[in-house]
A and B are shown apart, each in its own frame.
Chain A
Amino acid sequence: MTIILDPSASLAHDIADPGPDAGALAGKKIAIRIDMLWRSWDWVSEIWAEGLRAEGAEVTFWRSCGRTGEEGVQADREYGALLERSDMAIVGLGNCGSCTSWTIADALTAAATGIPTIAVATAHFEGLAHNLAKRGGRSGLRLHILPYPLDILPKEQVHDIARNHYRSFLRNFGVRSGLAEQSAA
């Protein structure tokens, strides 16, 4: 009998649980991971940060730059230190192939520390984000999806999108607040 060997590899394990809910925001330290690529994500996250601060949270931004070589080692160190002093993490933006890869990688790192974590991607890259999360061993990773294309829109329009998405974002993140619960009703 001829035996054909399998050239592929498969995942050994998967965590389907999305992890802890964000819960109440008052007094919480929230890390928002931004990047060098997407000004639209800067604009969305600044609107969301306003809302989070209004709920009593303390928001810290961290910008992902070069992720290879010495600069990459330094970036990993900075990001790790940020996660250590944060109660939850918002990680974006998945809006291209490689940036979605890094967004999910950084979200998986945050989720692995046990803090509530949500990744943010645009609609065109939703499938990729889910795939990468699954292949990264955490198919349940929370994901919030923004419209696509986003980065070619003017700032005012992106701000409107950020405001429109804020409530659903809070729900996806498992936030307990008047605003989130009101919108869920």
Chain B
Amino acid sequence: MAQGWGDGLPLIPPTQERVQDFLIAGGRFPDELIAVLPPLRAECTVEKIAINAVMAGCTGDAMPLLCAAIAAMADSKFDLAGLNATTGSVVPAVIVNGPIRNRLDIPCQAGCLGGVAGPAVAIGRAIRLIMRNVAGQLIGSTSQSVYGTPGRVAGIVFGEWEERSPWTPLAERRGVPGDAVTAYGAMGTANICDVVANSADGFLDMIAKSMAYPGANGFLPSSAFAETLCVINPIWAEVIAKAYPKIEDVQAYIWDKCALPIDWFRPEYRDPIGKLGRIKPDGRVHLVPTPDDVLVMVGGGEGGLHAAMIHSWGTCLTVTRPVSAP
């Protein structure tokens, strides 16, 4: 902590021996450059990842996932420079697909968005330490986040419950089958509860309409475009898939209902929203420009009753990368 390397929690000292062991287990050369990270524009090598991962309590088998996640976040489409500096309460979430979920015990069932014990906490914390120590993201200095978010301590690292999903896995739909990581600019997680609905349309109506609130990122007059993410529990997913076996139809349904009438916005908002071409002929404004911008995945416990909405930040575009074996 005295060196400014920590997050407030105890750290494991990154001794030369521990880092060496981690590198051997991770199977990568220490000087391999993974990414250049803003705002410091610093070179993030495998060694720097290993040092921070050791401090966070990670094991070496997480190295391929860590490298892929950092590379995904450094993609220019992700706008990490803006994300790391913003006043917003955003953290890059890490969504894991493929068999690596089981190998690394990445949670995708009950408590997957936080609270379940397992290695994902240390993986997420390692990424957060990398952002702090290598990228140089420091609250009050290079980060202007007004509130921050709990996810900035141990990250948000979770998987898709592919075995219970009636649809093709998220990463595969995005062109990366098998082991994959998806980086998503998450403005926190929020709950959607429904104890009444018993039909696909009922669940989807509740999800879509809950996601459409005026202060959501996608409605900002300053955002030219945006994405949004919805995590549906396996109980609801099964019901929804009987009516909508194609995920594109689920996305289209949510997109259509996830909208607000323009007159819900005060007059001073209407002109800039109109200039973006966001007002449809029926007088509604959709949260995101197209159904493709609604990301849908399956995860969470079998208790049902809840979905999770995770709004995006700015014009940060989701990036999916393969997780390559060393």
Contacts and interface: CB of A to CB of B under 8 A. Distances in A.
A98 B142 contact: no
Interface in B137-152: 141-145
Nearest to B19: A5
Interface of A: 2-11, 35-37, 65-69, 71-72, 96-102, 105, 125, 127-128, 131-132, 135-137
Contact of A98 (B13, B16, B52, B314): B314
B88 to A, nearest CB: 7
B189 interface: no
Contacts of B44: 9
Interface stretch (B57-65, B74-82, B172-180): B74-82
Contacts of A11: 40-42
Nearest to B6: A7
Given A7-B55, A9-B48, A127 B141 contact: yes
B39 interface: yes
Interface string B191-232: 000000000000000000000000000000111110000000
B80 to A, nearest CB: 10
B141 A67 contact: no
B250 interface: no
A132 B85 contact: yes
A4 B129 CA distance: 16
Contacts of A72: 76-77, 79, 315
Contacts of A100: 85, 144
Contacts of B41: 11, 135-137
A67 B43 CA distance: 22
B294 interface: no
A36 B222 contact: yes
Given A68-B76, A132-B142, A3 B16 contact: yes
A7 B222 contact: no
List the 5 shortest-distance A-B pairs measured between CB atoms, nearest first.
Answer: A9-B42, A97-B144, A98-B82, A66-B224, A101-B85
Contacts of B81: 98, 101-102, 105
A5 B15 contact: yes
Contact of A97 (B43, B145, B225, B317): B145
B222 A71 contact: no
B86 A98 contact: yes
Given A66-B224, A68-B79, A6 B145 contact: no
A84 to B, nearest CB: 21
A180 to B, nearest CB: 32
A5 B224 contact: no
Contacts of A6: 51
B51 A5 contact: yes
A110 to B, nearest CB: 16
B291 interface: no
A149 B25 CA distance: 52
B212 to A, nearest CB: 21
Contact of B134 (A4, A7, A35): A7
Given A9-B42, A36-B222, A135-B142, A67 B82 contact: yes
30 contacts: A3-B15, A4-B13, A5-B47, A7-B133, A9-B44, A9-B48, A10-B40, A11-B42, A35-B222, A36-B222, A36-B272, A66-B223, A66-B225, A66-B315, A67-B82, A67-B315, A68-B78, A69-B77, A72-B77, A96-B87, A97-B87, A98-B81, A98-B83, A98-B85, A98-B88, A99-B82, A102-B81, A125-B144, A127-B141, A128-B142
Interface in B217-254: 221-225
Which among B145, B224, B316 has the greatest number of chain A C-beta atoms within 10 A?
Answer: B224
A66 B222 CA distance: 9
A125 B127 CA distance: 26
Contacts of A2: 13, 15-16
B304 interface: no
Interface in B84-127: 84-88
Contacts of A4: 13-16
